[in-house]
């Protein structure tokens, strides 16, 4: 799947928050794992390597090696393991490494801390915080199976699974689904957004150009 450059610029302009985090260089394995885990347990998000705290493009160190290291951390330092989308991207002449983490259907995820213990981390504003017992229970209760979806939601997931790979833009649009199923665009959009929040779909792009795929 491609990562839309306009979406990246918009995310950088918006600054760090619940779904965006900047790192000028490659931090420790533990700090990276906490960020990936927190995104997966909350609403998903984008981790930028090569962007400083002010949103200035600094450039990622050794992009290919950084991307490989990020994948290793996602697989070995997070439980259950994550499979985020990791790309080396040249944006406005600067090489960055971008990690997109989806809100996970397997949450809660935990990270191996520096004392070799597992901790569950969530995203709160622009910070990663250890989840309380109540939050961990809520995360477990939020798991959903496909059988729990209503008829329209199941139709959306099935449609995206069948068609996302064939779309030259890298996913399915809300309007395309609405036309195919002869339903209102607003009703379709609400279903797509619910499914994205629940971790069934990944959305990329902005506005009417937003595209959705499964992960």
- CATH number of the domain to which 47 belongs: 3.30.950.30
C-alpha span between 118 and 67 (Å, rounded): 24
Which residues lie closer than 8 Å to 124 by C-beta, 6 or more apart? 18
**C-alpha distances in Å from residue 142, one per residue of 105, 106, 107:** 8, 10, 8
Confidence of residue 180 (pLDDT cuts 50, 70, 90): very high
| Among 119, 141, 163, residue at a domain's last position | 141
| Among 112, 141, 170, residue at a domain's last position | 141
Structure tokens at 152: 């329209």
111 and 136 within one domain: yes
171 and 96 within one domain: no
pLDDT digits (tens, 9 = 90+) for 183-207: 999 999 999 888 876 667 766 666 7
1 SS3 class? coil
152 and 114 within one domain: no
C-alpha span between 98 and 63 (Å, rounded): 10
Which residues lie closer than 8 Å to 162 by C-beta, 6 or more apart? none
Give the residue-averaged pLDDT of 20-28.
95
pLDDT digits (tens, 9 = 90+) for 71-111: 999 998 998 899 999 999 999 999 999 999 998 888 889 99
Contact at 8 Å (CB) between 191 and 185?
Answer: no
Q: Give the model's pLDDT for residue 111.
A: 92
167 and 112 within one domain: no
167 and 115 within one domain: no
36 and 90 within one domain: yes
Q: Give the model's pLDDT for residue 168.
A: 53
Domain total in the chain: 2
Short-list 41, 17, 161, CA closest to 111: 41
Q: Give the model's pLDDT for residue 188.
A: 95
C-alpha span between 27 and 215 (Å, rounded): 26
C-alpha span between 136 and 131 (Å, rounded): 6
159 and 123 within one domain: no
125 and 21 within one domain: yes
Domain that holds residue 42: 5-141
205 and 133 within one domain: no
136 and 150 within one domain: no
């Amino acid at each position: 799947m491609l990562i839309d450059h306009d979406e990246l610029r918009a995310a950088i302009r918006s600054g760090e928050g619940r779904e965006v985090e900047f790192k000028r260089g490659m931090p420790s394995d533990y700090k990276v794992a906490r960020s990936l885990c927190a995104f997966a347990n909350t609403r998903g998000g984008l981790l930028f390597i090569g962007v400083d705290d002010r949103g200035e493009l600094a450039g990622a160190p050794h992009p290919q090696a950084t991307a490989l290291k990020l994948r290793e951390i996602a697989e070995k330092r997070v439980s259950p393991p994550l499979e985020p989308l990791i790309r080396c991207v040249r944006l406005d002449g600067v090489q960055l490494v971008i990690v997109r983490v989806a809100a996970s259907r397997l949450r809660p995820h935990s990270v191996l801390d520096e004392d070799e213990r597992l901790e569950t981390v969530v995203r709160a504003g622009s910070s990663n915080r250890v989840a309380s017992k109540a939050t961990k229970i809520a995360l477990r209760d939020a798991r959903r199976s496909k059988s729990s979806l209503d008829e329209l939601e199941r139709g959306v997931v099935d449609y995206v699974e069948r068609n996302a790979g064939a779309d030259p833009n890298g996913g399915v649009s809300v309007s395309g689904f609405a036309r195919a199923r002869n339903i209102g665009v607003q009703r379709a959009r609400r279903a797509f957004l619910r499914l994205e929040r629940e971790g069934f779909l990944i959305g990329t792009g902005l506005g009417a150009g937003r595209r959705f795929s499964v992960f």
